[in-house]
Chains A and B, each alone.
Chain A
């Protein structure tokens, strides 16, 4: 079998985002596993129902566990979880809005509308990131 030379990577936006999508996807799965495991260790087994634990797994914000029978929130609302939340918001928003961009570019042709939609998605990305940080630091 003849060896082939690797094509030289072209570091454009699409290639970078292709890599980012894989890495952020893996990280998000890992963060959900961390959130659910830590939640179980912190008392979810006896003080929480499955739905509440899954809300916590999606996004480890203390507002998500208010409906449970946890006596004290000090384990669930602290700087560690705020950092995790900021990570989740950054990875999920970038992964999600980049995915939306890919879908939009699949169904539009280059031109005014594609540029406008891309710009709109960029604005939505920035907006959701800011709102996310605001909620995380305020809760």
Chain B
């Protein structure tokens, strides 16, 4: 089912999908982010443990940085909460009518969950 979807980035940005589309885009990005993180982590730990390799330690330094950690925690929390919303909408299809409102609920849940976590992480990072 190859649809022709040669849509430029600019045209795509003008598409008025709103909250649900943003959730869809972020769901994909966060899913890919988690895959990249887990793959890096597994390979790096494997190399370090088995061969004491410098490459493993180098990759370790990248994903142990506060920026990567903040990104990954966001990916995991968003993917989990938004995935839960998708499951609920799939089980009760009538709720699809409130699709837009459901993405607001997602952000209401994520704001305190991620905000507090990020705050503690940044605090600990600044303390050293």
Interface residues of A (CB under 8 A from B): 22, 25-26, 28-29, 32, 49-51, 54, 58, 63, 92, 96-97, 99-100, 103, 109-110, 124, 128, 131-132, 135
Interface of B is mostly: helix
Q: How far is the CA of A78 from the CA of B35 in the complex (A)?
A: 27
Q: How far is the CA of A103 from the CA of B33 in the complex (A)?
A: 13
Q: Does B87 contact A32, Cβ atoms closer than 8 Å?
A: no
Give the residue of A22, A26, A29, A132 whose beta carbon is less than 8 angstroms from that of B42. A132
A–B complex contacts, Cβ < 8 Å, 24 sampled: A22-B86, A22-B90, A25-B80, A25-B83, A26-B87, A29-B80, A50-B117, A50-B120, A50-B124, A51-B69, A51-B124, A96-B31, A97-B35, A99-B35, A100-B32, A103-B31, A103-B32, A124-B39, A128-B38, A128-B39, A128-B42, A131-B42, A131-B46, A135-B45
Q: Evaluate whether A96 and B120 lie within 8 angstroms (CB atoms) in the complex, with A29-B80, A103-B28 already known.
A: no
Interface of A is mostly: helix
Q: Does A110 contact B38, Cβ atoms closer than 8 Å?
A: no
Interface residues of B (CB under 8 A from A): 2, 28, 31-32, 34-35, 38-39, 42, 45-46, 69, 73, 76, 80, 83-84, 86-87, 90, 117, 120-121, 124
Give the residue of A28, A51, A99, A132 whose beta carbon is less than 8 angstroms from that of B121. A51
Q: How far is the CA of A99 from the CA of B27 in the complex (A)?
A: 10
